Structure 1
């Protein structure tokens, strides 16, 4: 049957497992999330265990009896000043795998197991049923987590004061270096850096906590393993809100609790867990090393693939940056070319406008010349006449006579009527050189407009005087200067 994505994500969050196993358990339980979670922890994450029936349950009980006997033997040996033999260092299969070791006990142990089987089975079943219905009816009421980092820092501070401060140099050297951020941040960091991760949950009320810390977590073997495999170690007390939240996710049955999480398919998946202090540090390290063997090659491959992806990403970014720089240069060149073209076009338009305006001014002067030619100005021929010889820029000359009381504007009119006269000009005496202000006001303004357009200095307008006022008498030679030359 199809399982909805929300149930799969919830199962993966509760059990810290992968997508495939979540679908497997949910499909087995017809999509019932509660039943699937219960079955997951009952079978240790191995669905095949649910089909093994009573024989499998007997094997599990026998395994528990073996573990209890080993613990009792080790404690007896410690109380007798280690007179007994050292504890068995045979690696114990991970809890989640629940693979029972070969039988090594006699008939008495078999008889004991068979006799206690109904009691163990009844107790386990009733406990699971009661827990199941309590969780359905009431749920787990967890304290709100307001400061997860603060909870972690408080735990580490108390941990150092309780187990590190005042210890010997070897204990301090082997002390655990806990990750000082929240559980979710620890998962993200381990997954991002492809590092294996330990999750240590501590219950201060548990009498085995101190021995577990000093004999396992601070042991040279465990410390060497953490350093060699570059473990990220996260620790928290279940008495703190952040620890209660983590415990609700991992659901340990006993304390102290140590879980190994490994990166797999962009998630952190639990590989093995240790609940309570039942194994020696050699067995714990051996089990962890055994669990890591299956993942070292995958993690190395994942690191290589991530390095390749990172290299490809940097290469793409470099190519995109080079492309963007090249495109920016192209855009700048196009923009500059357009700017120059626009400026050239504007210059052409300005030049055309200038030529058009100049032609209009020339036309205005030519119109005035035509008017003067049409009038046919009379020439004064009295005895006191002033003879003016006017020389043009091309060397041509003309002469005319004026009365002493004539205005200099008459000289302008006689000059502008000549074909050789430039459209914009001034008249000045040859020696000494002196400008004669003879142009009317309209012409002065028109000439100054042209001079301004050409970038020349305008000639200020002066009201024309009469000949005798400027000291002109008898015969005078003057020259015409082209203002546009």
Structure 2
């Protein structure tokens, strides 16, 4: 195993970040976990969380058995969509933006300073995940209190459970990280998340998991997915036998543009799901065939044993009859 001095600067940064995210004090153990996951920090963090929750690994290192593909199954690179805010139009909007800019700048700067000072004095309580399901349920309840019940179906479970269900069901998983303090969050929830077309699109084509980043569960997922701004969405799907983030959408976005981008990325990654379904059907078929063969073998074995038992009983009866006929 490499010593600390043999690590590159990038590996050292990942090592410290992994230790900070997981709270593991032993630096050697952190290095072993990262080495086992080829220094993929997202994979290592998620598997560590799964191990603590007793959930199976969703990032398996085993590769699927080679098969002859009938189509190009090479995955596309991860898509990252960063949406910038719309620039002001006309003199009125520019004037309004210029007037408010100093106030927004001072407000955001002071808020960041206060948060930084507070975290120096008191460690961030979000690092201790004690009730992940409760964090998700509270977010759903708060969302419905503010915006009503007209929203996509939220997955009521932990992030790890959502990943495992999406893997087992071979479905896309859409993750939404809710930032209470971001200025674009209320409008996004009201006009996009509650949009009827968006609701129908998400409910019919994927699982949907969401959580507030001010909660421990939402915070640790935000660290694992490395979000940059809000609103933040990540599309995850099984690819190369592991759950992989295939797209991130960051920043304000309209309902039509959101569904269009998600639809495009899903079409690009449909081949991996088709291959996974084919592999699973082949495994199920082979398993069923083996079970049928085992049942047939056992039935044949029982029939042979029954024949042997009958023959043995017949021989014993014949032997007893001869013994009775012999003179004493």
2:288 paired with 1:314:
yes
Q: Take 1:145 and 1:336, find their aligned partners in 2: how far apart are those partners?
A: 67
Assess, with a 3 A threshold, how the Cα gap between structure 1 residues 153 and 324 changes in structure 2: closer, same or farther: farther
Summarize the Cα distance change of 1:334–1:284 in structure 2 as closer, same or farther, 3 Å threshold. Answer: same
Residue 342 of structure 1 deviates from its aligned partner by: 7.4
TM-superposed CA distance for 1:73, in Å, is: 4.8
| 1:67 correspondence with 2:84 | yes
Measured against aligned partners, the alpha-carbon deviations of 1:18-71 in whole angstroms (never above 9, x if no partner) come to 899xxxxxxxxxxxxxxxxxxxxxxx979xxxxxxxxxxxxxxxx98x934x25
**Corresponding residue to 1:236 among 183, 204, 211:** 211
1:241-294 C-alpha deviation (Å, 9 max, x unpaired): 2222212211212233211112202211111112332x2222222222222221
1:7 deviation in Å?
4.2
1:115-126 counterparts in 2 under 5 A?
Answer: none
Choose the corresponding residue for 1:292, options 266, 272, 275: 266
RMSD: 4.0
| CA–CA separation in structure 2 for the residues paired with 1:334 and 1:157 | 69
Distance 2:268 2:198 in 1: 19
Contact 1:12 1:18 in 2 (8 A): no
2:202 maps to which of 214, 218, 226? 226
Query: Match of 2:161?
Result: 185
* 2:145 corresponding residue in structure 1: 161
Give the corresponding residue for 2:235: 260
Quick one: distance in 2 between partners of 1:19 and 1:188? Answer: 12
Q: Deviations over 1:370-429 (max 9, x none)?
A: xxxxxxxxxxxxxxxxxxxxxxxxxxxxxxxxxxxxxxxxxxxxxxxxxxxxxxxxxxxx
Find the structure with the greater CA-based Rg: 1
CA distance in 2, matches of 1:211, 1:189: 30
- 1:250 equivalent in alignment to 2:225: yes
SS at match of 2:38: helix
- 1:217–1:344 Cα change, 3 Å: same
Scaled by the length of structure 2, what TM-score is found?
0.60
Structure 1 pair 233/335, CA: closer, same or farther in 2 (3 Å)? Answer: farther
Shift of 1:141: 7.2
Taking the aligned partners of 1:9 and 1:343, their CA distance within structure 2 comes to: 73
> Whole-Å Cα distance in 1 between the matches of residues 78 and 236 of structure 2?
14
Q: How far apart in 2 are the matches of 1:299 and 1:215?
A: 31
2:43 maps to what in 1? 13
Find the aligned partners of 1:271 and 1:296 in 2 and give their Cα distance. Answer: 11
Q: Distance in 1 between matches of 2:199 and 2:213?
A: 23
Looking at structure 2, the residues matched to 5 and 337 of structure 1 have their Cα atoms a distance apart, in angstroms, of: 64
- CA separation in 2, counterparts of 1:71 and 1:344? 103
Give yes or no for the alignment of 1:344 onto 2:310: no
In the superposition, relative to structure 1, how do residues 324 and 19 fare at CA in structure 2: closer, same or farther (>3 Å)? closer
* Aligned pairs for 1:271-290 within 5 A: 271-277=246-252, 279-290=253-264
SS at match of 2:43: helix
Structure 1 distance, partners of 2:146, 2:247, is: 27
- Relative to 1, partners in 2 of residues 1:273 and 1:73: Cα closer, same or farther, differing over 3 Å? farther
CA distance in 2, matches of 1:271, 1:15: 18
Aligned pair count reads 243
2:84 alignment partner, SS class: helix
For structure 1, the residue ranges without an aligned partner over 5 or more in a row are: 21-43, 47-62, 81-130, 166-171, 360-485
SS state of the match for residue 263, structure 1? strand
Equivalent residues of 1:261, 1:271 under 8 A apart: yes
Q: What corresponds to 2:128 in structure 1?
A: 144
Greater helix content: 2
CA contact (8 A) 1:8 1:19 kept: no
Structure 2: distance between partners of 1:336 and 1:191: 53
Shift in Å, 1:12: 4.6
Partner Cα distance (1:341, 1:148) in 2:
70
Q: Give the equivalent residue in structure 1 for 2:170.
A: 194
Unaligned runs of 5+ in 2: 8-33, 47-57, 62-76, 97-115
